[in-house]
Amino acid sequence: MNTFRLRCARGTLSVCLRRYVLLAYLSALALVLLSGIELQPTAAASLGLRQEDKLKDSQLIAEGSTLFASSCGNAYCHGTGGVGGGAPRLRGKALDAAYLLKTIANGIPGTGMLSFKTELSDEQIWKIVAFLMSDAKTGSARSEAGVADKPAPRSPAFPMKSAAPPAASSLVGDAQAGKALFFESGQAKSCHSCHSFAGEGTPVGPDLSKLGTRSARELFLNVIIMRENIDSRYATVSVTLKNGDKILGVKKEEDTESIRVYDTTELPAVLRTVQKSDVVKVERQDESVMPKDYASIYTMKLTLKDLFGKD
């Protein structure tokens, strides 16, 4: 007879029962705690599957396509539709959703793959992931089985070494040619239509002669990808008039009776004065009025190096 039974034999029945109940309670508590530890990863995995199920939603894929086009879908990045540009093709490849999410959010340090976590919400990044995992031909999301057939890539799916915008040291151009490009009169979207440099040009946006401390690479990225936050002094506004017309542009100034706005509906911009009595509402817009197609208008070799580079 063990010690516990011996003590029970010497004690009262109620004491023994209390001890048995206590042992049973402690055993049950241990089982609950252990099962909770084992089930926790399963629950997390279940949540992950439910999130990945959303990647097949056609609406999310369509919204992701729009977000991708404005952030990465130019010739110097991953190309129209994510089928490859200066950077690698992303669609039509069996990429892992979690890997894409992490890479888009955090970027790859030391490369041209930049972090978007401060500019896009988690939901927006998931939409881009949904688009990238959709089939490049049909637009339907790649099945989980299809992804599972191929392991996650051992090396980054964003090998930006060859596709990254050139380092500052490689951006050596002809300053005089760059000046001619900046003030090119035959191009409506020429820089001087909205910017001034050393007192020349149009002050719709910032004076670019004050950016000399910034690297050529920074300037390149801000023009081609337009990732920089817009200075509140040059924010885009939409002015709705009582006659139904709308003016989209940059507000220059206002007083008690009127508002002066650089109308950028067509370039070059026109400075318009609008009486406040004719205005229904003035709304700030999140999107910059800066053209988004410089990557297709100009070439890296012949023009952009002259604009951003140094002699």
**What pLDDT sits at residue 42?**
38
**What pLDDT sits at residue 68?**
82
* Cα R_g (the chain), whole angstroms: 30
Give the chain's residues under pLDDT 50.
4, 6, 8-9, 13, 29, 31-49, 137-170, 301-302, 311
For residues 92 and 24, what is the distance between their CA atoms, to the nearest angstrom?
A: 57
Question: The CATH number of 232-285 is which of 2.30.30.100, 3.40.228.10, 2.60.120.380, 1.10.510.10?
Answer: 2.30.30.100
Query: In sequence order, what are the residues at sequence separation of 6 or more whose Cβ sits closer than 8 angstroms to the Cβ of residue 264?
Result: 194, 204, 248, 249, 250, 289
> Under a CB-based contact definition with an 8 Å cutoff, are residues 302 and 164 in contact?
no
**What pLDDT sits at residue 158?**
46
Distances in Å between the Cα of 53 and the Cα atoms of 97, 133, 238 are: 11, 12, 38
For residues 181 and 212, what is the distance between their CA atoms, to the nearest angstrom?
A: 18
For residues 285 and 11, what is the distance between their CA atoms, to the nearest angstrom?
A: 82
CATH fold of 57-148: Cytochrome Bc1 Complex; Chain D, domain 2 (1.10.760)
**What pLDDT sits at residue 241?**
93
Scan for tokens 């002669």, then name that residue. 209
For residues 305 and 57, what is the distance between their CA atoms, to the nearest angstrom?
A: 42
Could you tell me the residue ranges of all domains in the chain?
A: 3-53, 57-148, 171-226+301-308, 232-285
Residue 89: alpha-carbon gap to chain centroid: 18
Q: How far apart are the first and last CA of the chain?
A: 96
**What pLDDT sits at residue 240?**
94
